[in-house]
Structure 1
Amino acid sequence: MLDYYMRERCGLCDEGLLQIKVALSELREMDVRINKIDIDHDDALQEEYMVRVPVLKHDSEVIQEGILDFVQIYDYIKAIKGK
Structure 2
Amino acid sequence: MLNLTYYTRDNCQLCNEGKLQIRLALSELRDNVVKLTEVNIDNDDELQEEYMVRIPVLSDGGNVIQEGILDFVTIYDYVKDNYR
- Say whether the fold is shared (TM-score over 0.5): yes
Query: What's the offset of the Cα at 1:46?
Result: 0.3
Counterpart residue number, 2:42: 40
- Greater shift after overlay, 30-39 or 4-13? 30-39
Which ranges of 4 or more aligned residues in structure 1 deviate by more than 4 Å?
none
Q: TM-score, normalised by structure 2?
A: 0.93
Quote the RMSD (CA, aligned, Å): 1.0
Aligned partner of 2:17: which letter? E
> How far is the alpha carbon of 1:30 from its aligned partner?
4.6
User: Which consecutive unaligned segments of at least 5 residues does structure 2 have?
Assistant: none
Distance in 2, matches of 1:70 and 1:10, equals 18
Whole-angstrom distance in 1 between the partners of 2:81 and 2:31? 14
AA at the equivalent of 2:15: C
TM-score, length-normalised on structure 1? 0.94
Count of residue pairs the alignment pairs up:
82
Q: Which moved more, 1:20-29 or 1:60-69?
A: 20-29
Name the structure with the higher helix share. Answer: 1
Other-structure match for 2:58: 56
What residue number does 1:65 align with?
67
Report the alpha carbon displacement of residue 28 of structure 1 after superposing the two structures with TM: 3.0
Which whole-Å CA distance do the structure 1 matches of 2:63 and 2:44 have between them? 20
Structure 1, residues 14-36: CA drift from partner, whole Å, max 9, x if none? 00000000000001335311100
Residue-by-residue CA offset, 1:8-60 (whole Å, 9 max, x unaligned): 11000000000000000001335311100000000000011000000000021
Gapped runs of 5+ residues in structure 1?
none
Of all paired residues, the percent bearing the same amino acid is 60
